[in-house]
Amino acid sequence: MTDALPDDPQLLAETAARQMHGRDRASHHLGIALEEVRPGYARMTMEIVEWMLQGHDMCHGGMLFALADTAMAFASNSHNVPHVALNANVDFLRPALLGDRLVAEASEGNRTRRTGMYDVSVTNQRGERVCHFRGRTYGSGGSVIRPA
């Protein structure tokens, strides 16, 4: 069996995402599913369950951030260069409630040799914007995909 990396950017993105998702315990715990990945792009979903609610009966901001941050992670690792978040900001626009099914779409706003910028929009099942997230990542070098 060969460890050769795929040449095709789309295949590379899918292979990197599949391996990342397999290792990502936090995403699994949150029920975050990967719907689509492309070079510089990822779309992920999460349903708001009981334990995610805070004291005002709204989804905890940390869980919304976690969904958006995960989408950025998959988009920023899609070129098979490990990237970690340097910082991020999030604007909360409307509450997410029990049972809401959220979709996060991350797209690459900029990429240099070392840093990336990603915008993530989180919407609910009615297409309403729940929050906007923007983050900056830093590439550490190396490869996301590990040999089989």
- Residues engaged in binding a copy of itself (CB under 8 A): 19-30, 50-63, 65-67, 69-70, 73, 82, 84-93, 95, 109-110, 114-115, 117, 119, 129, 132, 134, 136, 138
Would you say 6 or 61 has its CB closer to a copy of itself? Answer: 61
Query: Residue 10 has which token pair?
Result: 């789309």
- The least distance separating a copy of itself from the CB of residue 140, rounded to whole angstroms, comes to 9
Would you say 24 or 47 has its CB closer to a copy of itself? Answer: 24
Among residues 87, 79, 78, which one has the least CA distance to residue 117? 87
Question: Which residues neighbour 33 within 8 Å (Cβ) at sequence distance 6 or greater?
Answer: 44, 45, 46
- The least distance separating a copy of itself from the CB of residue 10, rounded to whole angstroms, comes to 20
**Cα 50 to Cα 74: distance, rounded to the nearest angstrom:** 26
Would you say 7 or 126 has its CB closer to a copy of itself? Answer: 126
- The least distance separating a copy of itself from the CB of residue 86, rounded to whole angstroms, comes to 6
Query: Residue 139 has which token pair?
Result: 């590439």
Would you say 101 or 146 has its CB closer to a copy of itself? Answer: 146
Question: Residue 111 phi/psi, 5° resolution?
Answer: -150, 130
Q: String of b and e for 55-91 (b: at least 16 CB within 10 Å)?
A: eeebbbeebbbbbbbbbbbbbbbbbbbbbeeeebebe
Would you say 7 or 127 has its CB closer to a copy of itself? Answer: 127
